[in-house]
Amino acid sequence: MQSILGMAGSMAGDQSELEDALSNKTMFTNSILRAQTQMEAHNFSIRKHLYDYDSVVNKQRLKVYGKRDEILTLDQSKDKEVTTILIDAIRCIIDSDENYESDTRKLNIELADYLKTLTQKILIVTNAKEEKLIQLKVLIKNYPFEVISYFGTPEKSDPEYFTRLIKDKNLNPKEIYYVDHRESNHLSAIEAGITNIHLHTDTQATIEQL
């Protein structure tokens, strides 16, 4: 009789341990599922933000080049000879990191040397001021380029920048070729009447277009 009771007690103890083990396993599994769900939600959010960003950029690109094509279609003087080349400073004639840090800036010698061989007037357009403007002028001091800055008022993303530049330098917008790495600046230039534009992404590609 005692042995039977002992067996029953032992089985009861094993049952309790089994239930605890199953309970712990269930909790562990639920934790994994929750973590997986959170990770999938996070990854989905990243993909959604990338999609939204790409959509905005693509819409802007279509707007920029759609506007340019519209102007070119209406403009009968689009074949005029280019007499002035506008080159964006940072990330075009001046290389830098993605944060535009001053200590990473250096002259794009390959592009600068090529521009020096051209007969057109070269204007380096920028929003730089104070120390950064001085740094820019030092970097191009051995080249016959003129630096234009309105010190951020207005910005190049504002058509007024190019309208003012055209007036100040007595330029014909149809005789200007504009190189910049930002499509938003291209749109401003187009609204100011500058239709010859190039999106700078690679030095060699830019040289081939000039």
pLDDT of residue 43: 77
DSSP 24: H
How far is 197 from 112, CA to CA, in rounded Å?
18
pLDDT of residue 78: 44
Could you state, in order of their start, the residue ranges of all structural domains in the chain? Answer: 1-74, 79-209
- The mean of the pLDDT values for the chain is 81
pLDDT at 70 over 70: no
Note the pLDDT tens digit of each residue in 14-58: 556 655 655 666 666 776 777 777 777 777 777 776 766 666 667
- Phi-psi sector, 126: left (phi>0), alpha (psi -120 to 50), beta: beta
pLDDT of residue 16: 61
Q: Which long-range contacts (CB under 8 A, 24 or more apart) does 70-78 make?
A: 71/190, 71/193, 71/195, 72/195, 75/174, 75/195, 77/174, 78/174, 78/195
Report DSSP letters for 26-52, one per residue.
HHHHHHHHHHHHHHHHHHHHHHHHHHH
DSSP 79: T
- The CATH classification number of 79-209 equals 3.40.50.1000
Across 61-88, average pLDDT = 69
Would you say 143 and 115 are in contact if contact means Cβ atoms under 8 Å apart?
yes
pTM of the predicted model as reported, rounded to 2 decimal places: 0.64
Across 148-153, average pLDDT = 92
